[in-house]
Amino acid sequence: MRRFQGVVLALAVLAGGRAHADMVDIKFGGLISSDIRYRLAGATIPAEGLVVPFPSQQRLLPYGFSRNENTIKAQLSLSIASKVKAVADVDFVWYGFSDLRDIDSATLQERVDPYRLEANAAYVDVYRIIPKVDLRIGRQVVVWGTADKFSPTNNLNTLDLSDPLLFGRALANNMVRLDFNPWGDIILTAVWVPIFRPARLPRTAPFALSDLSRPAPVQEDSIREILGTFAAAMPPTTINVATMQPPPSIDNSQVGVRLAGRLLNQDVSLSYYHGRWGLPVPAFTTNKPGGVVDVAVMWPKMDVVGLDLAGSIEKLGGLGYWVEAAVFFPQMVTYGVYNDAFGGHDPITFVPRMDDPSRYTVKIGEPEAQRGTVIPSEPFFKLTAGIDYSWNKYLYTNLQYVHGFIDEFGAGKECYALPGELPGGHTRCERRIGDYLVLGSDIKLFSDQLMIRIFGAFKIPHHDELDPRFTAVLFPQIAWAVWDATELSLGAFVFLGDRATKFGYPAAGATELFLKAKFTY
């Protein structure tokens, strides 16, 4: 450790020229954790016969271990006076599953015991680079918004959805951030993100695109029915999903501006974001001979104008409240359908019928005709409004109304195949931007050493839904701080609903029991 500090100091002195070793303040910390989870009543993902992504032993079974991780986190902070700070935050993660695709793999440590590296931060801060302006360059997370976890204005970093227990965690990305603080708590923040980084998806997510019975992701009922008829007539045997990543051009940079301040002692901010939605949407499909279907997904562009406020209502005992709203202006995404099954590459398009414009007829080889709409260009609105309150030293409650879950994007509707239906069968549709009630409580006992937490998110049926169905997630856990910086936790993440609902659909995930241990140093 001493040698390491010496190297750091030497680097600081050499690099800084004027910096003196005794001026560098070094802070080192991190955590060591273990995370074991068991899956209950899920779907097999990937399905039997399909290739399992890395590591290949980690196929999600209906009943089986879904996570077996160990993590060592290392955080290093170097600062010189109150002028400069450099921060690194790295997770070394061992999957706990092997990746033995052949016998040679069994000779390699990295295949027998695979691991990965996650860099959560690697940035340099320069404070007051010019008067009242701070600069941060590097890999970082910029958090906007006042809501808890469900922040529609928080779009600069995409989400890490790989772990439902870390709900709302963002993926760090390389950015340039400027904060101009002219007075008090008025802050104007500008952020430039050169390269878009897509969200990290849960291991169950590809199921949505490889699910043979899932209806075509288009808004027009008639086109969806026609494509369903095709699927029923020529059921796909294999679905391959390709990605259309945004090229690293300046056009694909993201930018954001936010002005935050205080009005009547309430925190208020206005924000604007130009960039992309972090989750992929299907844009093309090509039917090939033998029932093979190639699907291509892309990350649509969007502009977001947001407003948030937060404060405390003294007349209600200091009740905390927050409201965060955003209007999204999405790039329109259409569904290009091609048929290669008969040797050509024929676009399949649609034209409205003369007698009923809501019904369509199919055109083959006429690319100028209409495609189905995946994401309409119509702006849509997301909102989170919440309150929280500490009843006493033992009990804390948090309640939020959420219009638009974190993975919901675009106006229109989302359709699911009803349970047991074959391709082209009956479906159930609901509004794409749903309404949810998220509520939870912490009970803290024994000087906060024992915490019992129960959180849940319940989907509220919309009044015009034809077939409303119950769906929810529950997150009960017990966390025991056995000693300073040491915590054991036991709990579950429970998905409720049938497969034609948001949380019951297998791509959303499945119920897991977990046992975690964490020591922070």
- Residue of 440, 486, 485, 430 lying closest to 462 (CA atoms): 430
The stretch among 292-300, 319-327, 420-428, 470-478 that binds another protein (CB under 8 A) is 319-327
Using CB under 8 A as the binding rule, whether residue 135 contacts another protein is answered as: no
- Residue of 5, 21, 29 lying closest to 90 (CA atoms): 29
Helix or strand or coil: residue 222? helix
Binding-site member from 35, 99, 134, 408 for another protein (CB under 8 A): 134
CB of 406 to another protein, least distance (A): 15
Nearer to another protein, 107 or 447 (CB): 447
Using CB under 8 A as the binding rule, whether residue 91 contacts another protein is answered as: no
Binding-site member from 5, 243, 245, 312 for another protein (CB under 8 A): 312
Strands 333-339 and 281-288: what pairing?
parallel
Q: Which residues, other chains included, contact 250 with Cβ-Cβ below 8 Å and sequence gap of 6+? A: none
E strand or H helix that includes residue 109: helix 109-112
Number of shown-chain residues binding another protein (CB under 8 A)? 54
Q: How many helices (H) and strands (E) does the chain have?
A: 4, 27
Binding-site member from 141, 281, 295, 415 for another protein (CB under 8 A): 141
Instruction: Give DSSP secondary structure letters for 156-178.
Output: SSPBB-S-GGGTTPBPPEEEEEE
Backbone angles phi, psi at 395, to 5 degrees: -125, 125
Binding-site member from 56, 57, 105, 181 for another protein (CB under 8 A): 181
Binding-site member from 13, 31, 190, 270 for another protein (CB under 8 A): 31
- Residue of 153, 188, 161, 158 lying closest to 175 (CA atoms): 158
Nearer to another protein, 502 or 518 (CB): 518
Residue type, 60: L
CB of 447 to another protein, least distance (A): 4
Region of 355 please: left (phi>0), alpha (psi -120 to 50) or beta: alpha
Nearer to another protein, 150 or 505 (CB): 150
Nearer to another protein, 35 or 134 (CB): 134
Using CB under 8 A as the binding rule, whether residue 182 contacts another protein is answered as: no
Nearer to another protein, 82 or 107 (CB): 82
Q: How far apart are CA 297 and CA 280, in angstroms?
A: 6
CB of 390 to another protein, least distance (A): 4
Q: Which residues 358-387 are close enough to bind another protein by CB under 8 A? A: none
| Residue window 34-73: x/- pattern of binding to another protein, with contact defined by CB under 8 A | ----------------------------------------
Binding-site member from 22, 185, 251, 368 for another protein (CB under 8 A): 185
DSSP label at residue 343: S
Q: How far apart are CA 408 and CA 521, in angstroms?
A: 37
Asked if 370 and 350 count as a contact pair (C-beta separation under 8 A), the reply is: yes
141 token code pair: 């997370």
Using CB under 8 A as the binding rule, whether residue 264 contacts another protein is answered as: no
The stretch among 26-34, 52-60, 270-278, 505-513 that binds another protein (CB under 8 A) is 26-34
509 token code pair: 């995930």
CB of 107 to another protein, least distance (A): 38
**Tokens 């090939």 found at:** 288
Helix or strand or coil: residue 264? coil
* Rg from Cα positions in the chain: 25
Using CB under 8 A as the binding rule, whether residue 392 contacts another protein is answered as: yes
DSSP label at residue 151: -
Question: Taking the chain, what is the end-to-end CA distance rounded to the nearest angstrom?
Answer: 14
Using CB under 8 A as the binding rule, whether residue 284 contacts another protein is answered as: no
CA 449 to chain centre: 31
The stretch among 1-9, 62-70, 311-319, 331-339 that binds another protein (CB under 8 A) is 311-319
Q: Which residues, other chains included, contact 416 with Cβ-Cβ below 8 Å and sequence gap of 6+? A: 214, 215, 427, 428, 429, 499, 500, 501, 505
Using CB under 8 A as the binding rule, whether residue 25 contacts another protein is answered as: yes
Q: Which residues 423-482 are close enough to bind another protein by CB under 8 A? A: 444, 447-449
The stretch among 27-35, 43-51, 221-229, 361-369 that binds another protein (CB under 8 A) is 27-35
The stretch among 4-12, 15-23, 77-85, 299-307 that binds another protein (CB under 8 A) is 77-85
CB of 398 to another protein, least distance (A): 11
CB of 178 to another protein, least distance (A): 12
Alpha-carbon distance values, 404 to 58, 391, 432 (Å): 31, 29, 8
Whether the bond into 46 is cis, omega within 30 of 0 = yes
Using CB under 8 A as the binding rule, whether residue 177 contacts another protein is answered as: no
Binding-site member from 100, 124, 319, 327 for another protein (CB under 8 A): 319
Residue type, 227: L
**Tokens 């008067």 found at:** 131
The residues that touch another protein, with contacts defined as CB under 8 A, are 25, 27, 29-31, 79, 82, 85, 125, 127, 134, 140-143, 146, 179, 181, 184-185, 187, 262, 265, 267, 310-314, 317-322, 388-393, 396, 444, 447-449, 483-485, 487, 518-521
